[in-house]
A and B are shown apart, each in its own frame.
Chain A
Amino acid sequence: TQLLEQSPQFLSIQEGENLTVYCNSSSVFSSLQWYRQEPGEGPVLLVTVVTGGEVKKLKRLTFQFGDARKDSSLHITAAQTGDTGLYLCAGASSNTGKLIFGQGTTLQVKP
Chain B
Amino acid sequence: GAVVSQHPSRVICKSGTSVKIECRSLDFQATTMFWYRQFPKKSLMLMATSNEGSKATYEQGVEKDKFLINHASLTLSTLTVTSAHPEDSSFYICSARDLGGGQEDTQYFGPGTRLTVL
Contact = CB atoms under 8 A, between A and B. Distances in A.
Contact of A45 (B44, B103, B108, B112): B108
B104 A31 contact: yes
Given A31-B105, A50-B104, A97-B32, A104 B6 contact: no
Contacts of B103: 50
A48 B42 CA distance: 22
Q: How large is the interface on B (under 10, 10 to 19, 20 to 34, 35 or more residues)?
A: 20 to 34
Interface string B9-32: 000000000000000000000001
Contacts, number: 62
B111 A42 contact: yes
Q: How large is the interface on A (under 10, 10 to 19, 20 to 34, 35 or more residues)?
A: 20 to 34
Do most interface residues of chain B lie in helix, strand or loop, or is the interface mixed? strand
A27 interface: no
B109 A35 contact: yes
A44 B105 CA distance: 15
Given A42-B6, A42-B110, A45-B1, A94 B43 contact: no
Contacts of B73: none
27 contacts: A6-B43, A30-B105, A31-B104, A35-B109, A40-B91, A40-B114, A41-B112, A42-B6, A42-B93, A42-B110, A42-B112, A45-B107, A48-B104, A94-B105, A96-B49, A97-B32, A97-B49, A97-B105, A97-B107, A98-B34, A99-B95, A99-B107, A101-B44, A103-B43, A104-B42, A104-B43, A106-B41
Interface of B: 1, 4, 6, 32, 34, 41-44, 46, 49, 91, 93, 95, 97, 103-112, 114
